[in-house]
Amino acid sequence: MSKKKVLGCLLTGAVVTTAVTTTVMKNKAKKTTYKAESIDPITPREMGFYEKYVKRAIDVTCATGAIVVFSPIYLGVAALVRAKLGSPVLFTQDRPGLVGPDGKETVFKMYKFRSMTDERDENGELLPDEVRLTKFGKWLRNTSLDELPEAFNILNGTMSVIGPRPQLVRDMVFMTKEQRMRHTAKPGLSGLAQVNGRNAISWEDKMNWDLKYIKKVTFKEDLKIILDTVKKAFIKQEGITQDDMATAEDLGDYLLRTEKVNQSEYNKRKEMATEILEGSLKDYGDK
């Protein structure tokens, strides 16, 4: 068989494998995503041609290429996490995703490499983040290596390479309807806020960068953000945590600390977040 035929067979096999893997992962993702039913709807945004038809193909290509090319790094980091932090190697967390036609966010499982221990107190409660976040865990976060598994979220269609970073459900419930417009774009591995200060900037600035991004989603802008991300995350190695905190401060805690919400409103919205997350248990039972 000629070299051209061999190459053609390999390329065909790669395309078929990618298509099958992507389909399987999308079907699995559907079983673990659910609707944030308790939240008020917002008006969905009309997507342009690139965002609607081209961006997904680029996402699949980039995610597949990253998993193949960096597979030794995936295996190496997984082995380190297993040795230093134990099992499980992967950490999953429910995050708000794309707003549906009904104006409510879907909530999906986001994958990351584990960066904290599961140490608990005498009552079985997890110890504070600053206690459970080890030196190794900080290194993982500062190098962004903990985020490598999000490539599988990109493959299953719950995330994109570029878009507003998916925050926590307990952050979403404190956002205004205008700020929640960020969820009318698929959440991304990196975004404008990440290349313009990450967690060193205020919550308001982060939201404003996200809202600026969704005004005009283009290939040129996405490419620029990708290049800036590589420079900041891997060359300059900028961390994701705030200077005086082990992890980023929740939006609700920030609003309460700065007296932008009172204790009563804070408690009410925290209850809403709990209600949304508890809804996942019912949905999983129905599937």
Instruction: For 154-204, write each residue's pLDDT tens digit.
Output: 999 999 999 999 999 999 999 999 999 999 999 999 999 999 987 788 999
> How far apart, in whole angstroms, are the C-alpha atoms of residue 168 and residue 182?
13
This prediction's pTM: 0.84
Band the pLDDT of 31: cuts 50, 70, 90: confident
- Pairwise CA distance, residues 38 & 220, whole Å: 37
E strand or H helix that includes residue 151: helix 150-155
What pLDDT does residue 1 have? Answer: 60
Q: What angle do CA 275, 31, 272 make, to 5 degrees?
A: 10
pLDDT at 243 over 50: no
Average per-residue pLDDT in the chain?
Answer: 86
How, if at all, do strands 34-35 and 105-113 pair? antiparallel
Q: What is the pLDDT of residue 117?
A: 87
Provide the pLDDT confidence category of residue 285 given band limits of 50, 70 and 90: very low
pLDDT tops 80 at residue 115 = yes
What is the pLDDT at residue 244? Answer: 47
Q: Which residues pair with 95 in a beta bridge?
A: 108
Spatial CB neighbours of 151, under 8 Å, sequence gap ≥ 6: 63, 66, 67, 189
pLDDT for the residue 48: 94
DSSP type of residue 182: G
Q: Which residue has the higher pLDDT, 105 or 200?
A: 105
| 217 has a pLDDT exceeding 80 | yes
Higher pLDDT, 62 or 25: 62
- For residue 22, the model assigns a pLDDT of 66
Higher pLDDT, 233 or 256: 256
Confidence of residue 147 (pLDDT cuts 50, 70, 90): very high
∠ CA 219-221-225, rounded to 5°: 115
pLDDT on residue 286: 43
* Average of per-residue pLDDT across 198-223: 93
